[in-house]
Structure 1
Amino acid sequence: MWKRDTDKEKPSKKETPKYQKPKILLIDLPDTALDGVLSVGFNASAGTFGSPYKVKLSDDYTPVVYKSDLPNYTEQEIIIIDLTPSETLDSPEGEKMTSKGEKDWWAKCSRGEIDPRPRVMNMVHNAFDRILWHGGLFVIFAQPRLRQDMVWGEISYGNFKIGSKINADNWSFLSNLHPEYFEIKSDFGEEISVPNYDSQLLRFFRETARNARYTATFNPRYEKKNWIPILSNKFERCVGGLIVPEDSKGRVLILPQISKKPEAIVTLLREVLPDISPHLFSHIEGSRWVERDEYELDSVLKYKAEKIEVQQRAKRELEELDKKILGERDKLVFLHGIITKTDTDLVESVKACLEFIGFKQVIDVDKQILEQDTKAPKQEDLQVHDKSPTLLIEIKGISGLPHESDTIQVVKYVPRRMKEWNRFDVHGVSIINHQRNVPALERDNQNIFTGQQVEDAKHHDITILTTWDLFLLIRGMMKWGWDPKTIQELFYKSGRMPRLPAIYKPIGEIVNYWEKPSVVGVQISENKLHKGERIGYVTPEGYLEEEALSLQFENRDVEEVFPGQSVGIKTKYLRNLLRRGTIVCAVTKEE
């Protein structure tokens, strides 16, 4: 594998850039690349996904330890990445972020080397996807796709326990580059062909091709119209090209390895990339000097003055909207509280959420004990007395994943209350804010509770749920106008609380998506669906709803579909929202 050269000298002190926009991040490139970009006035910074490190060669698994540095990566507009790994370190630079008893990333030692970059890439890919969809530009100096044997794992009772497999690699920083959508094959050579027609990009390639080498070939698996192949090898395989996502100004330029990257990057920024993404280079004036005020027509100057008035009015309106946003956040601060807080703050936030979804008689037990000035032992955090059975709610905010003691602690409070109240209609609920220091979408939201924990919850007739699930349900209620009772009812079901409100009836899951004419493929597994019925999609980010106005089975329009059929449903949502595996439900009428 190619190793990246690293410069011995540190980059010069960063001065105020001549051009504030675009914001540029160079990842895993030589320090001289940053010096060159800064020297021509661009606003740039440098970062790294981390470095591979040596481990003892064996068939064992070891934690994936990383140390990355990606300054202000969420707000960058151009991100230039060299996928060539740096020299392998003798040991990892960072430290394991959790105890060995918590579920974490582990990798097999069968290669004698661990590359932590996929873990970091997986952490930032949502932010990078957002940058791309909002018109950002990615430039990638390519390397072959590297797959490691990585799993979720933990040490349990002294033994290593393997969980689910982790599908991540050294291209996992953008969803568009996922193996399911984009094929990358290892191939090596130096003969690179450039098309004959003229453009700034092709002129750049003609000048650099003789100093370039390719290490991979590329082929999109589906949306080939969004892929522009530019460079090819002698066997007519693509070794460089441009991804042009539909309905977005974002671009992904994939290049072979170039020997003089610092100089090439400066040329790209000054001469090539402004042609690819002109909206990012507002400082490039060209012949527009005639539009300066000293050359402008009087009638145009009048319109310019009116434009300034509009902008000033808009600024005032934006300031007013900002005040409303702050007010709304303050009013609903408890919603973010349930996915960030712990201890008393978390209990107060959950109590506010329960009252927000319509529970009337919610008691803070600790506060009640304090007010009554009694020395009662530790009890459940909250009680809900709205109807039978009474709910006893235990709430925990933890940095990792829940242990058995976290999920069933409420069990010991149930018989105490039954005895105290001389009744049996008491139901326990355990609410967990897991991995609370990690942004919610980056948490392990699939493997929170073990199968045994869920079975134990059913056996003890208690409900277990996460605050993230509760947050999504409440946000869905607010967005789609559900009756709060559709969420209330879920607290009385044993086992893990489903993420489906009571009005959602599962019918199947998404198995395909066709960009034109915006049709989603659904495998119907249970319950039938009629044309015109309202359907809901359960996504990692929440819930989407629409009417199923068009149903097709075997290329024929139909009025209803049944279990066992694979059908097409016309949709208004984009592919990045309706991913494979998304649960599809019929939205039933509220009683």
Structure 2
Amino acid sequence: MNERPQILTLNLTDKSNSILVEKGFNLYQGSLGKLVDTKNEKHKFKYHLLNNDFPANAHEYDIVIVDFSNEETIDYVKSDNQREKNKTENNSYLICKYPQTIFDPRGLSSHAFIREIREILKKECLIIVFQNENVDIEYKIVEENGDRPISKGSQEANFYEFIPNFYFQQNKFGKETKVIPNNGELTTFLEKFNKDFNYENTFFHPTIWENEEKVPDPKFYPIIQNLNNEIISYIYLTDKVGVFIFPVLEDNSLFLLGFLETIAPSLQPNLFPYSTQNKWTENIEYALPNQERLIEEKKKIEQDFKKSIETKNKEIISNNDKYSFLHKILTETGDELVSAVIQFLEWLGFENIIDMDTQTEGIKEEDIQIETDKGLLVIEVKGIGGTSKDSECSQISKIKYRRAKEREKFDVYGLYIVNHQRHIPAKKRENPPFTKEQKQDSINEERGLLTTWTLFNLYFDIQKDIITKEEARQIIYNYGLITFIPQNIKLIDTIKEIFLKGEVFILNIDGIKLKTGDTLYIEKNKKFQKLTIIEIKLDDKIVTEISNGEAGIKGTIKVSKNSKVWIKNLP
């Protein structure tokens, strides 16, 4: 254990204390007191004494670390709150009456610690604080008198009373933080933990008078902000004293260890003689052979890496912009949804798409019109929180027949596209969201029903070459519930046996010619995958083709039992 620095921890977790002790730091594990659960019932009260723990020589310590965010709570024990040995006539206690059930000693303990901290601040020292909500606590003081305590007044106290250079602005809780750049090694260190920070306070930048005007205090260094650019963490450094107000970490053990081992010694080297006694060897005039070259090469790698990350981030943003319509068809409603569906249909290869909201003449009924070689496709698009009513599904029928009459042709196709239950993740929605009657009605009335979740999946099926854009465009004219499956395929068999965890499976083939290199379509739960035949075995012999019999098939993907196996019909 290193003698220096002497560290006093107050309300640090057992884990944080243990890690520092294991690493050789000289610790006194003190406390401002633990919260006490009184379990007070109606008309009841409890007498309390402060349960803090300070070393008798607290003024000799170099570093004080306080974790206000640690609200460890203990049960009330009567014997812990009685004066068994009393050298004075003082019979005063603090009282906690119902409806108050939690006694928090830390405010009054902080007040009591002011004298000690004043002594510590007279020499070189560090004060490290993990914040919590800043509140004033009122303590009722009584003289013990059985069931009838005698009031002796009250006193307000605050957690932060003994913290110097405390520039509190307001209580404000948040989780999104950003490390202020250009603080060198400290910035790099803080960024490692930034995703785990949350905060309870914001702070103001103090000012001083200089040349008859107020200027920002140069001893104050903001180090972390929230997304509104409010200061939520800072350092205040003088020649002798460093005050560090840090945000909350659920587990601050590694943060504290890293800070005391790498950051604090460079800020207050005199407090860490064992960490800094050979630091002079790091100066450039004492550089080892090849050191300067290696350091420069490292810097170059870091710069190139940073540029690569920036380039990749730009590509990600550009990709998000390009394909954002795929998310919008699952989340939006109204004009935003219509616009996203139009973008999808354009990607699918439809031309002459008209957004009916852009038309100035006539009453707007359908959302989209597409004039095609087959006729006119009229589409109604809805984004709703639930599932569709019968009237919403069938509204497109009226529009379809109205347009047919206007054209004096029966080449009009009606389609209802819905983004249903849009506030729920798409996989957790009711799919498909139509009743048996709604699906049958759409067949009877010769119109289509389609969900945006189906369109979303269609995009990736086309990318995987399960189905072509041309096939998908033709399916959109269908009646009833529209599903996009590979076209012109024939069922071979259902897989009943698999081997090697699905790499090999058995097919019973009856009059369908299969050969090595053929593409099969594997269907499971109405989802299709493509598989290329690598090897065929018949009677334990490898063959290149087969038309009848029980064959073992090895393919390019793993399959599962009860999957259906299809093949394209030959032209």
TM-score (norm 1): 0.43
Q: Considering only CA atoms, is the larger Rg found in Structure 1 or Structure 2?
A: 2
TM-score (norm 2): 0.44
